[in-house]
Amino acid sequence: MSSLPDSWIFTAQCPSRLGTVDVVTRFMAESKNYINEIHSFDDRVSERFFIRIEFQPQGDAFTPESFDDQFAPRATEFDMEWNLTPPGHRERVAILVSKFDHCLNDLLFRHRTGQLDIDIPVIISNHPDLRPLAEWHGIPYYHLPITAETKPKQEAQILDLLEQYDIDLVVLARYMQVLSPEMCEKLDGWAINIHHSLLPGFKGARPYHQAWEKGVKMVGATAHYVNNDLDEGPIITQGIQSVDHAHYPEDLVSKGQDVERITLFNAVRYHVEKRVFLSGKRTVVFSN
As annotated, the active-site residues are 231
Q: Which amino acid is at 229?
A: D
As a whole number of angstroms, the distance between CA 38 and CA 52 comes to: 6
236 to 24, 76, 218, 278: CA distances (angstroms): 26, 29, 20, 9
Distance (Å, rounded) from C-alpha 24 to C-alpha 12?
9
Kindly provide the b/e burial profile for residues 126-156, where b requires at least 16 CB atoms within 10 angstroms of the residue's own CB: beeebeebbeeeebebbebebeeeeeeebbe
Tell me how far apart the alpha carbons of residues 92 and 277 are, in angstroms, rounded to a whole number. 19
Contact between 16 and 42 (Cβ < 8 Å): yes
> What are the φ/ψ torsions at residue 254 (nearest 5 degrees)?
-60, -50
Contact 262, 238 (CB under 8 A): no
Q: What angle do CA 14, 17, 19 make, to 5 degrees?
A: 100
Phi, psi angles (nearest 5°) of residue 237: -140, 155
Q: Give the bridge partners for 97, in sequence order.
A: 125
Find, among 162, 280, 287, the residue nearest to 236 by Cα. 287
Residue 93: beta bridge partners? 169
Specify whether the CB–CB gap between 178 and 230 falls below 8 A: yes
CA 216 to CA 192: how far, in whole Å?
A: 27
